């Protein structure tokens, strides 16, 4: 599947963001103490996972309080630098398998390097699109994703792909950004799309999309509504080098405070 112009732009932005985490001291650490993003998302990475954690752009921990069992197969949509892949591999054990999909080659390369350095041998990372997963039908026990589906322009296709690859009775746990409402001029800002804001949909639309794909027993287990200061810090921290001025951040944050939040959606495939 060929990337759309917007997907190409997002992919380049995330490659730039990844480069930014290497070239600078963490802006998150400067602003809000060590690991502000991973802390807000509910992560406590082990020492061998800190490299991947420092390169994570997630908004929640899709692995919190879910019952991945040893020997199962886990698929991560938009696996980034590999933090969730490693955490999932800790749950599946050596008898299980963890597969990551990411459209950005730089992220795939970084995840592979982080996984190798951490000593995991049951994790595979593939370049691909979440709208057309390079995964066999009914082949995975769990689908997880962390702040990625909001970036897709074809969310219905993503939800259908989740249903396609899950085994009957298989589960999903998705952390993502949702919005109550957003001014149109913000939705047209390409950099805000990469910042996981402009492409986000409402919580209700998310639930309906999952149900329409045939997924069942859907629940929202966690919400974190972003206050003005959190929005300003998250946007400026997540997007080093992107074309969003501090003036625009200062304008956006009070406008959308309380209307943007992260949520965790869990459920399963029928069967």
Q: Which of 111, 215, 107, 218 has its CA nearest to residue 165? A: 215
- Residues linked to residue 126 through DSSP beta bridges, in sequence order: 101
What is the pLDDT at residue 54? 44
Whether the predicted pLDDT of 1 surpasses 80? no
Cα angle, residue 82 at apex, residues 200 and 60 outer, rounded to 5°:
40
Highest-pLDDT range among 12-16, 48-52, 73-77, 261-265 = 73-77
Looking at residues 53-71, what average pLDDT do you find? Answer: 71
Cβ-based neighbours of 230, under 8 Å, separated by 6 or more: 40
CB neighbour list of residue 2: distance below 8 Å, 6 or more residues apart: none
Domain boundaries, the chain: 5-177+203-225+260-269
pLDDT digits (tens, 9 = 90+) for 5-30: 666 765 665 656 556 544 333 333 33
SS3 content of the chain, % helix, strand, coil (to 5): 45, 20, 35
Is the confidence at residue 32, as pLDDT, over 50? no
Position with higher pLDDT, 35 vs 70: 70
Specify burial of residue 113 (Cβ count, 10 A radius: 0-12, 13-18, 19+): middle
What percentage of the chain has pLDDT greater than the value 70?
74
- Cα–Cα distance measured from residue 115 to residue 86, given in angstroms and rounded to the nearest whole number: 7
Average pLDDT, the chain: 80
CATH of 5-177+203-225+260-269 given 3.40.1170.20, 3.40.1440.60, 3.40.50.150, 1.10.533.10 = 3.40.50.150
Question: Up-side HSE of residue 260: CA atoms within 13 Å toward CB?
Answer: 29
Range list of β-strands (E), 55-139: 73-77, 97-102, 123-127
Distance CA 26, CA 15 (A): 16
Q: Name the pTM for this structure.
A: 0.81
Please give the distance of CA 128 from its chain centroid, rounded to a whole number.
15
């Amino acid at each position: 599947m060929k990337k759309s112009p917007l997907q190409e732009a997002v992919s380049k932005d995330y490659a730039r963001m990844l480069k930014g985490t290497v070239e600078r001291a963490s802006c998150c650490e400067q602003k809000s103490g060590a690991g502000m993003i991973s802390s807000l998302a509910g992560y406590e990475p082990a020492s061998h996972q800190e490299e991947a954690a420092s390169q994570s752009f997630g908004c929640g921990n899709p692995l919190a309080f879910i019952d991945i069992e040893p020997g199962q197969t886990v698929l991560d949509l938009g696996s980034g630098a590999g933090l969730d892949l490693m955490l999932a591999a800790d749950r599946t054990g050596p008898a299980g398998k963890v597969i990551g999909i990411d459209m950005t080659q730089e992220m795939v390369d970084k995840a592979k390097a982080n996984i190798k350095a951490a000593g995991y041998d049951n994790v595979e990372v593939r370049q691909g699109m979440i709208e057309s997963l390079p995964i066999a039908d009914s082949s995975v026990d769990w689908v997880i994703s962390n702040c990625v589906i909001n970036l897709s322009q074809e969310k219905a296709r993503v939800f259908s792909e989740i249903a396609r690859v899950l085994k009957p009775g298989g589960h999903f746990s998705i952390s993502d950004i949702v919005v109550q409402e957003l001014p149109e001029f913000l939705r047209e800002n390409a950099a805000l799309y990469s910042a996981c804001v402009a492409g986000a949909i409402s919580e209700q639309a998310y639930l309906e999309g999952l149900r329409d794909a045939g997924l069942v027993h859907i629940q929202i287990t966690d919400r974190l509504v972003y206050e003005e200061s959190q929005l300003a810090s998250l946007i400026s921290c997540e997007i080093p080098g992107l074309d969003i001025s501090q003036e625009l951040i200062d304008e956006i944050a009070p406008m959308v405070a309380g209307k943007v939040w992260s949520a965790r959606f869990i459920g399963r495939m029928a069967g």
